[in-house]
Amino acid sequence: MNKRAGIFIILVLALGAVSVFLSQEQKIFRAAIDPGYKDSRLSVEKRVINLLSQMTLDEKIGQMALVEKNSVHDIKDVPLYGLGGILSGAGGKPANNTPQGWLDMVTGYGEASRSSRLGIPVLYGVDAIHGHGNVPGATIFPHAIGLGAAHDRELVKKVAEATAEEVRATGIFWVFSPNLDAPEDIRWGRTYEAFSDDLEINADLGSAYVQGLQGAATDKVEMVATAKHYVGAGGMQWGSSSNKNFKIDQGTTKASEKTLREFYLPPFKAAVRAGVLSVMTGLNSWGDEKISANKYLITDILKKEIGFKGFVVSDWYGVYEIPGGEYTAAVTAINAGIDMVMLPYDYKTFIKNVEKAVRKGDIAEERINDAVVRILRAKFSVGLFEKTPEGNLEIIGSKEHRALAREAVSKSLVLLKNENQTLPLSSDVKRIFVAGSAAHNTGRQSGAWTIEWQGIDGNAIPGAISILEGIEKSAGSGTQIVYDANARFVADEDLADVGIAIVGEKPYAEGWGDNANPILSPEDLEIISLLRQTSKKLLVIIVSGRPLLLPDEMEQWDAIIAAWLPGSEGDGVAPVLFGKRSFSGKLPLPWPANLDQLPFSHEGKASDKTEPLFPKGFGL
């Protein structure tokens, strides 16, 4: 055989090998589709197996990509890459930012995804962490810390049900909530997103929230809930953030494994028992390693030991926080057990990298199959293949939901101090002065994750009612309410019977709310002191996402209420002030006396130093 013939034979053999290799994928691609997986009478597991067996590697990897909606440059990419999930992150709103605009946007992505070869619908996810907060006109429930103060399982379940109804009305079936972070340090900008620092409250309310969102049956749920942020995020240390703009958020959890297991895992176990279908890993590190790289925590503990059957989703860009570049980061995270990657930007490179990793043997195809099984299980369980948009947009901000939110507000108030028979306010009180930065400011009382990621400071929450308006509504006809934000009241012989200062924090989200010294602002203290001079009795209502360190002047305040971030129904406050409802809220975490006490570590070291100003569980 001459040299040419030799080369020719080698070429033919090589081409043959390639075509055998390609034909496996192509065979799957070209085969007639067995529509068994579309039959909703079959069990979820049967449908998953049927569909998985018909998917090419590319189609499987596409399912593992979660893309932020503004990063989907062309809607045709949704079926082309078979994207598994799309989310609205910060600012991920439709051009027409109305409930109808949301429904149209989400329906558009859903329809596009169904036009792919296998028609696998995309799962759209949203941070409805206190109601469908992104959507103007939605009911804004108190942030979780207020629900923790109310500590009422049935109420929390109803809040989650109502949230799920409003979210579903816009065609969305995945919510990134509940938050089980258990914050030890109130300087963290996400303190208010959690119910409590207490494992029992978190387990109890977290599981109630999952049940409320998802509904009872695990293979026929109404919504996919997400327990986040797995795990130990509340134990991050001040000054350890990996983000140069932050101090604690995205930092390092120093807890021992014993502490993690004792204080941070139980709420996740409770959520898994309640059937939660997705778990989001945190942006924190445990020791030297980002959680999303930690196979022991994700695969060994969460999936094998606890028995979680849903899918693990990484948090915003979190996978790329793993060192080694994009290829290595994706390989490490997926091998650690991440099933869906919140990229959230560049899906094309991700898909290419993962495909290369499988071909090279850096990721086993079984790992990909496991991830896709878990994602499809959630999609089938929520009935995504059968869904047609409910479109009952009138449920958004409905009277019933607002009444429920109002009840939640009333139950969340914690009475910290009450002297000189200040509360309840008597119905024949003649004159009330109301002042303060949060008195007539529905944006402040709602906090962040409302319309905008960082919230809005001002009266710009459609359909919301301020705490002041609630007081005006509740007061008797013989009571005069005088409002001035800056407390410029004239001190004459007509002192107010009661001055109410409603003060607190401007909205903030995530690390932007990390605060070395969480106190009332000098402006707020000035208003309180002016009001003190013009009122016989002084009530201070604190609207904040965390306990704030109180000044010595608090001795001169007759009554103090922690109102947390009540949301759109500010009129839930007044009925409790006027004694139409009683105070029932209890502190869901300790209220520190000073900075030296922080953090209130679960291991009990720092908090042993001195007593907090008010202990956890306190409430008059």
Please identify every residue annotated as catalytic.
Answer: 315, 510
Q: Which of residues 157-216 bind ligand BGC (CB under 6 A)?
A: 176
Q: Which of residues 481-540 bind ligand BGC (CB under 6 A)?
A: 510
- Exposed e or buried b per residue across 431-463, where buried means at least 16 C-beta atoms within 10 angstroms of its C-beta: bbbbbbbbbbbbbbbbbbbbbbbbbbeeebbee
Q: Taking CB under 6 A as the rule, does residue 152 contact ligand BGC?
A: no
Q: Taking CB under 6 A as the rule, does residue 316 contact ligand BGC?
A: yes
Name the residue nearer to ligand BGC (CB basis): 293 or 467: 293
* Rounded Cα gap, residues 537 and 529, in angstroms: 12
**Helix (H) / strand (E) containing 358:** helix 347-360
Token pair listed for 353: 């990298």
Classify residue 68 as exposed, middle or buried by CB count within 10 Å of its CB (0-12, 13-18, 19+): buried
- Tell me the H-state helices in 37-98: 44-52, 57-63, 77-80
Classify residue 208 as exposed, middle or buried by CB count within 10 Å of its CB (0-12, 13-18, 19+): buried
Q: Could you tell me the smallest distance in angstroms from the CB atom of residue 88 to ligand BGC?
A: 7
Q: Could you tell me the smallest distance in angstroms from the CB atom of residue 244 to ligand BGC?
A: 16
Q: Could you tell me the smallest distance in angstroms from the CB atom of residue 282 to ligand BGC?
A: 8
Q: Taking CB under 6 A as the rule, does residue 315 contact ligand BGC?
A: yes
Q: Which of residues 413-452 bind ligand BGC (CB under 6 A)?
A: none
Number of residues that bind ligand BGC (CB under 6 A): 9
Selection from 506, 380, 387 nearest residue 448 by Cα = 506
Name the residue nearer to ligand BGC (CB basis): 282 or 570: 282
Q: Taking CB under 6 A as the rule, does residue 85 contact ligand BGC?
A: no
Q: Which of residues 371-410 bind ligand BGC (CB under 6 A)?
A: none
Selection from 434, 521, 536 nearest residue 485 by Cα = 434
* Rounded Cα gap, residues 58 and 527, in angstroms: 62
Name the residue nearer to ligand BGC (CB basis): 410 or 454: 454
Name the residue nearer to ligand BGC (CB basis): 229 or 537: 229
- Cα–Cα distances (Å) from 334 to 316, 350, 368, in that order, read 15, 11, 8
Selection from 117, 148, 138 nearest residue 408 by Cα = 148
Identified binder of ligand BGC from the candidate list 79, 85, 89, 183, rule CB under 6 A: 89
Name the residue nearer to ligand BGC (CB basis): 250 or 332: 250
Answer yes or no: are the C-beta atoms of 276 and 226 closer than 8 Å: yes
* Rounded Cα gap, residues 233 and 184, in angstroms: 9
Angle at 522 between CA 519 and CA 525, to 5 degrees: 85
Selection from 205, 235, 195 nearest residue 600 by Cα = 235
Q: Could you tell me the smallest distance in angstroms from the CB atom of residue 539 to ligand BGC?
A: 35
User: Residue holding tokens 């130093």?
Assistant: 609
Q: Taking CB under 6 A as the rule, does residue 127 contact ligand BGC?
A: yes
Selection from 590, 592, 598, 588 nearest residue 615 by Cα = 590
Q: Taking CB under 6 A as the rule, does residue 93 contact ligand BGC?
A: no
Q: Could you tell me the smallest distance in angstroms from the CB atom of residue 271 to ligand BGC?
A: 15
Answer yes or no: are the C-beta atoms of 155 and 203 closer than 8 Å: no
Identified binder of ligand BGC from the candidate list 93, 158, 228, 269, rule CB under 6 A: 228
- Cα–Cα distances (Å) from 510 to 140, 431, 455, 515, in that order, read 19, 40, 11, 11
Name the residue nearer to ligand BGC (CB basis): 226 or 466: 226
Q: Could you tell me the smallest distance in angstroms from the CB atom of residue 127 to ligand BGC?
A: 5
Classify residue 191 as exposed, middle or buried by CB count within 10 Å of its CB (0-12, 13-18, 19+): buried
Answer yes or no: are the C-beta atoms of 62 and 85 closer than 8 Å: no
Q: Could you tell me the smallest distance in angstroms from the CB atom of residue 343 to ligand BGC?
A: 12
Name the residue nearer to ligand BGC (CB basis): 133 or 567: 133
Q: Could you tell me the smallest distance in angstroms from the CB atom of residue 523 to ligand BGC?
A: 30
Q: Could you tell me the smallest distance in angstroms from the CB atom of residue 80 to ligand BGC?
A: 24
Q: Positive or negative CA dihedral for 552, 553, 557, 559? A: negative
DSSP 188: S
Q: Could you tell me the smallest distance in angstroms from the CB atom of residue 82 to ligand BGC?
A: 22
Name the residue nearer to ligand BGC (CB basis): 283 or 548: 283
* Binding mask of the shown chain, residues 38 to 77, with x at each position contacting ligand BGC by CB under 6 A: ----------------------------------------
Q: Could you tell me the smallest distance in angstroms from the CB atom of residue 430 to ligand BGC?
A: 48
Q: Please tell me the total number of residues recorded for the chain in this structure.
A: 620
Q: Which of residues 16-45 bind ligand BGC (CB under 6 A)?
A: none
Name the residue nearer to ligand BGC (CB basis): 211 or 226: 226
Answer yes or no: are the C-beta atoms of 530 and 489 closer than 8 Å: yes
Which residues, other chains included, contact 388 with Cβ-Cβ below 8 Å and sequence gap of 6+?
none
Selection from 120, 115, 126, 125 nearest residue 62 by Cα = 120
Helix, strand, coil fractions of the chain, as percent rounded to 5: 40, 15, 45
Answer yes or no: are the C-beta atoms of 180 and 268 closer than 8 Å: yes
Name the residue nearer to ligand BGC (CB basis): 228 or 440: 228
Name the residue nearer to ligand BGC (CB basis): 50 or 243: 243
* Binding mask of the shown chain, residues 536 to 575, with x at each position contacting ligand BGC by CB under 6 A: ----------------------------------------
Contact residues toward ligand BGC (CB under 6 A) are 87, 89, 127, 176, 228, 283, 315-316, 510
